[in-house]
């Protein structure tokens, strides 16, 4: 135990961490029920009873709406498609600007591009990691049509401040709630406190159907537009008597019956699964916070954080070793998790590179060769330069690290191994190889 594993010593643990696998008999029965029916999807892209999909899709939507306490839930085949449909529903125009955070999955920032709108990046909060209202306020322009707030890592964004800005500037707010189903803000479920909310059901998320998503809203007009965009709007509007044709070019964003049937079972497990995560995260936060220079990320006041991943802050000055070198040494002490063996220990430095640093934004090249839609905003003051969001950059480059090793069914004994690995590396920090 006295030599760091990265220097050839014995690691703290080699037995894989348990898989996060909650697809069980209920989901099998649900899938079989659909297979036995012979109807694997029941949509028609015209104004017909089947415009709204089959019985499993409709039951899933009803149950999702009841659970989250929202008027409309619209099942789609991914959060990415849900974000695009949500933006279409608010009548996004080519040339409009949409304010997004840079520290999120790329689809948050690319969704506006599909309508020819321009993503504008606002910085994030240093302690909570969500979009920073003060930065949003600075990025509002006469072209701003919407804000996409992301409940990143499972933490609800500051919806009170964002709603206040949106109201004063007459812009819409969409929550990208992919990482936060079951999170709460001031007594309401995350995703339900803005004009629209969008959840993901992809394999990596808290609950899943392989691929999938749900859009929620309390607004009847927005709900109808999302339903139309999901299912070939252009072929439906005439017979349905819809006269507002803005963004009524449809897609096929339809979730299948089998996915919906599985989703109904997964939804029943959401609170149990998020409760276990919260318990584990509190335990790990307490254990790792004993180490000087390591601090668990904060949970916003009046909020329930559901920890898609668990973030921590690392203080290089206090520890005297860079974050990357320290985390590399911890990783050498710990194994991967079952079902994700290829990824190594589920412990990472930073999250994603701030999105404006992607080639798409650096080169301003999206559709075609000529730089559309960025060309529409050529004489505006929109920057994707390095330094644009200094908090996100600093967190990414130096301060933030995160883990998924706290996912259920990890036990306190499993987490004790994680804590022991950090403690061992800290105790031997002078022996950590330089980067």
Instruction: Determine, following the binding rule CB under 6 A, whether residue 391 of this chain makes contact with ligand PLP.
Output: no
In the sheet that 188-189 helps form, which strands lie side by side, from edge to edge?
Answer: 188-189, 184-185, 303-304
Contact 375, 366 (CB under 8 A): no
- Residue closer to ligand PLP (CB basis): 125 or 333: 125
Cβ neighbours, 10 Å, residue 321: 22
For residue 99, the surrounding DSSP H or E stretch is strand 97-100
Please choose, out of 18-26, 89-97, 101-109, 424-432, the segment that lies near ligand PLP by the rule CB under 6 A: 101-109
- On the 0-12 / 13-18 / 19+ scale of CB atoms within 10 A, 434 is exposed
Nearer to ligand PLP, 209 or 280 (CB): 209
Q: Quick check: 211 and 254 in contact, CB under 8 A?
A: no
Q: Which of 11, 17, 61, 80 binds ligand PLP (CB under 6 A)?
A: 80
> Which SS3 state, helix, strand or coil, does residue 157 take?
coil
C-beta of 178 vs 223, nearer to ligand PLP: 178
Whole-angstrom Cα distance, residue 143 to residue 132?
20
Q: Does 102 bind ligand PLP (CB under 6 A)?
A: no
Binding segment for ligand PLP among 172-180, 253-261, 349-357, 379-387 (CB under 6 A)? 172-180
Among 42, 87, 108, 172, binds ligand PLP (CB under 6 A): 108
Which CB, 4 or 124, lies closer to ligand PLP? 124
Q: Site residues for ligand PLP, window 223-282 (CB under 6 A)?
A: none
* Residue 197 interacts with ligand PLP (CB under 6 A): yes or no: no
CA distance 130 to 146: 16
Residue 110 beta carbon to ligand PLP: minimum distance, rounded to whole angstroms = 10
117 vs 87: CA distance, rounded Å: 10
**What three-state secondary structure class fits 102?**
coil
Q: Quick check: 404 binds ligand PLP (CB under 6 A)?
A: no
Yes or no: say if 256 and 209 are a contact pair by the CB < 8 Å rule.
Answer: no
Among residues 111 and 233, whose Cβ is nearest to ligand PLP? 111
Question: Site residues (CB under 6 A) for ligand PLP?
Answer: 78-80, 104-105, 107-108, 150, 176, 178-179, 200, 202, 213
């Amino acid at each position: 135990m006295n030599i760091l594993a990265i220097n050839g010593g014995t690691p703290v643990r080699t037995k894989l961490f348990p898989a996060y696998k909650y697809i069980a008999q209920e989901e099998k029965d649900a899938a079989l029920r659909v297979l036995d029916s012979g109807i694997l999807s029941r949509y028609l892209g015209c104004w017909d009873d089947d415009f709204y999909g089959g019985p499993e899709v409709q039951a899933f939507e009803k149950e999702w709406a009841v659970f989250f306490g929202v008027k409309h839930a619209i099942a789609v085949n991914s959060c990415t498609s849900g974000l695009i449909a949500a933006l279409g529903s608010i009548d996004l125009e080519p040339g409009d600007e949409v304010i997004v955070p840079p520290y999120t999955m790329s689809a948050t920032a690319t969704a506006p591009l599909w309508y020819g709108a321009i993503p504008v990046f606002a910085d994030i909060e240093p302690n909570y990691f969500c979009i920073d209202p003060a930065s949003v306020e600075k990025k509002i322009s006469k072209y701003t049509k919407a804000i996409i707030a992301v409940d990143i890592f499972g933490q609800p964004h500051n919806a009170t401040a964002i709603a206040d800005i949106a109201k004063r500037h007459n812009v819409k707010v969409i929550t990208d709630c992919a990482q936060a189903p079951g999170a709460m803000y001031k007594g309401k479920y995350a995703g339900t406190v803005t004009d629209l909310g969008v959840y993901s059901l992809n394999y990596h998320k808290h609950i899943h159907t392989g691929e999938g998503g749900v859009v929620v809203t309390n607004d009847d007009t927005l709900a109808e537009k999302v339903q139309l965009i999901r299912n070939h709007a252009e072929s439906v509007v005439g017979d349905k008597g819809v006269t507002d044709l803005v963004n009524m070019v449809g897609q096929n964003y339809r979730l299948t019956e089998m996915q919906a049937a599985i989703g109904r079972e997964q939804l029943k497990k959401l609170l149990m699964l998020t409760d276990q995560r919260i318990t584990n995260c509190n335990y790990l936060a307490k254990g790792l916070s004993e180490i000087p220079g390591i601090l668990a990320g904060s949970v916003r006041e009046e909020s329930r954080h559901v920890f898609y991943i668990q973030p921590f802050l690392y203080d290089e000055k206090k520890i005297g070793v860079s974050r990357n070198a320290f985390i590399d040494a911890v990783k050498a002490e710990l194994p991967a998790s079952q079902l994700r063996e290829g990824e190594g220990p589920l412990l990472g430095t930073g999250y994603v590179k701030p999105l404006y640093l992607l080639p798409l934004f650096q080169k301003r090249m999206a559709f075609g060769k000529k730089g559309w839609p960025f060309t529409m905003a050529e004489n505006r003051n929109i920057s994707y330069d390095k330094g644009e969001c200094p908090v996100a950059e600093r967190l990414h480059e130096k301060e933030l690290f995160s883990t998924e090793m706290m996912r259920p069914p990890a036990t306190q004994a499993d987490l004790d191994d994680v804590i022991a690995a950090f403690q061992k590396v800290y105790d031997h920090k002078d022996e950590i190889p330089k980067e």
